[in-house]
Amino acid sequence: MRIVQSANPNGFLLRVSGFNVGKVLAAVQRSGAVTAASGRPGDDDPIVIHAITSGWITFESAIEVHTVRAGQLIIRDAGNSWRLASSANTASHVITIPRTLFRKPFSLDLLKRAHVADMASPEVRLIFDYLRMLETAEWLDSPGAADLAETALLAFVVGLMEKDPVYHWLDAEGTILAARGVIEQHLQDEDLSPALIAHRLGISVRTLHRSFSCGDQSVMSLIRQLRIEKARADLLSRRSEAAVSQVAAKWHFSDASHFIRIFKARYGVTPGVYVHDHVDAGS
């Protein structure tokens, strides 16, 4: 971090004390009023959590500005360019996580924007209760135990970010588009399900459903929509009302009655009437 300006006539004041959880550094930081800059594109800078306990810090990047006050925290990618400004007597808990620990490909996608959360929330309290327990744990001297503690802490942080509505709206569209691609590839597979789609995308079923909740339909309603569209095309190509049961079975509707109900809800008429009307129109 490069200090741009200090409001203290005697220079920049900074006091830090902390401990390591594996490769993660958890520290308490106190500073005077200061303006600073951090992060450069291409740098292998860490992911940083600032939990403000007194004062405030403003974080400004090219796409967002957050003033984080006492009782709030921010999770940000320090590899991006940021300008920071803090009030006098600002104190915070700072957790520094090497970006290499975000092994899953979707984890860094969570950091397209910063995340701000209330420190009173159960999820945040869990993280800091866990850190307080680790601070006095003698078994952290064991490399194996430290690695397990580090993995658990990262899981808590990723879980907190996944709950953030900002993440939902940013990444939901991409997840839905990717899911649609998987659905279209497996539309004739009888075992097509949210679990199969999530597995192909490398995400949890919970994350898949959460992404779809930001749109206007569920995973299963999209599957039904695409199947009914394919079934309609099949009916028109066969030009026969007798094909209804065959088409229903091909596209994995539970039975002909179920297929007819969904078809009528979608197109306003039964499959038989639809085929009859379109055969006549094409004559």
pLDDT tens digits, 133-153: 888 877 777 888 888 888 888
Residue pair 66/82 in contact by the 8 Å Cβ criterion: no
Residue pair 251/232 in contact by the 8 Å Cβ criterion: no
Q: Is 197 helix (H, G, I), strand (E, B) or coil?
A: helix
Phi, psi (rounded to 5 degrees) for 69: -105, 175
- Which stretches of 85-193 are DSSP H helices? 122-135, 143-162, 165-185
pLDDT tens digits, 199-248: 887 778 888 888 888 778 999 999 999 999 999 988 888 765 557 888 98
Average pLDDT value for the chain:
82
Cα–Cα separations (whole angstroms), residue 191 to 120, 197, 208, 219, 251: 43, 10, 17, 14, 12
CA 102 distance to own-chain centroid: 13
Name the fold adopted by 2-163: Jelly Rolls (2.60.120)
Q: Please name the amino acid found at residue 261.
A: R
d(CA 150, CA 21): 6
Domain ranges of the chain: 2-163, 169-216, 221-282
pLDDT tens digits, 258-276: 999 999 999 999 988 888 8
Residue pair 158/99 in contact by the 8 Å Cβ criterion: no
Residue pair 30/15 in contact by the 8 Å Cβ criterion: yes
**pLDDT for 30 beyond 60:** yes
Q: Which of 96, 207, 219, 216 is nearest to 161 (CA)?
A: 207
pTM: 0.55
- What confidence score (pLDDT) does residue 10 get? 47
Phi, psi (rounded to 5 degrees) for 143: -55, -40
Cα–Cα separations (whole angstroms), residue 11 to 21, 36, 57, 117: 32, 13, 18, 31
The dihedral through the CA atoms of 261, 278, 187, 207 has a sign that is negative
Reduced 3-state DSSP string for 52-67: EEECEEEEECCCCEEE
Assign domain 221-282 one CATH number from 2.170.150.70, 3.50.50.60, 1.10.10.60, 2.40.33.10. 1.10.10.60
d(CA 124, CA 184): 39
- What confidence score (pLDDT) does residue 94 get? 92
